[in-house]
Amino acid sequence: MEQSNGFLADYDEQLTPPSSPRQDSPKLDGDDAFASPTTDYESFEEQYDRRSTQRWQYRAIGAGLAILFLIFGTGSIISTTYFSAYPASTSMGACGRTPEQARQNGCIFDLMMSGWTHPPCYDQELSDQFLRENNFAFFRDREGTQQVTEAEARLGNYKFIYTNGTFHYQHCTYIWAKQVQARRRSVYVLDSQSRSVEHVEHCFRRVGNPNITQIQLQTGTKLHSSTWRLDCIIGEREVHTEH
């Protein structure tokens, strides 16, 4: 049995919003707090927020469905061909127990996975693209008062840091993109968490039903660094984790 992911703390279970007047009592769609005591009509701001939320949800669901088609539509055909040509799989193993050991073993820290992996399983161009386009902010504390530069976060020396609530959703999109990229190569090379059936299913549920309160928080995602959870696997293999 593969180890549980644990990189990304679920907002509902492990995070509470930073203390501020707005975030102490988060308002979700459908809350009675949105109803005006003096009028039956929505204010302009309420209408705008509701429509923006709906648009975001539609886009997230649409992106998930598109990725599903790519992976299970074209990917299933390619998978059959590759599996016949490369029936055996090879595990490169974990990178070590500490960042120092990981570096000594030639591993690279992938911030989008919040973990160390062997070079064949690291797509630097794709990882850099996600970090560049999303421009995440990183913090040592949940309150967002101790900022960490992206360059420092990329070193992978942290035990945990906080970043934007959107990171969790972009992380899911990232592993789907990694799966598509891996299928385009002659040999299927992908880390264990990006292969994990349970991890992928978790991402489908997360992106398909986004937590709008989490998305809006500057520190809505908690990242746990790992040197040993990512196994770089070459060839076809189905991976299961407890997630």
Per-residue pLDDT tens for 29-75? 333 322 333 333 344 444 445 454 445 554 555 555 455 444 444 44
Contact 236, 79 (CB under 8 A): yes
Of 99-103, 124-128, 178-182, 236-240, least confident by mean pLDDT is: 236-240
Distance CA 100, CA 97 (A): 8
Dihedral of CA atoms 57, 124, 142, 172 in degrees, nearest 10, equals: 30
Direct distance between the N- and C-terminal alpha carbons of the chain, in angstroms, rounded to an integer: 11
Q: How far is CA 139 from CA 148, 151, 189, 230, in A?
A: 5, 12, 32, 24
CA 75 to chain centre: 21
In tens, the pLDDT along 155-193 reads 999 999 999 999 999 999 999 999 999 999 999 999 999
List 147's β-bridge partners, or say none. 139
CB atoms within 10 A of CB 211: 18
Judge whether residue 17 has pLDDT over 80: no
Q: Look at 115 and 237; give whichever has higher pLDDT.
A: 115
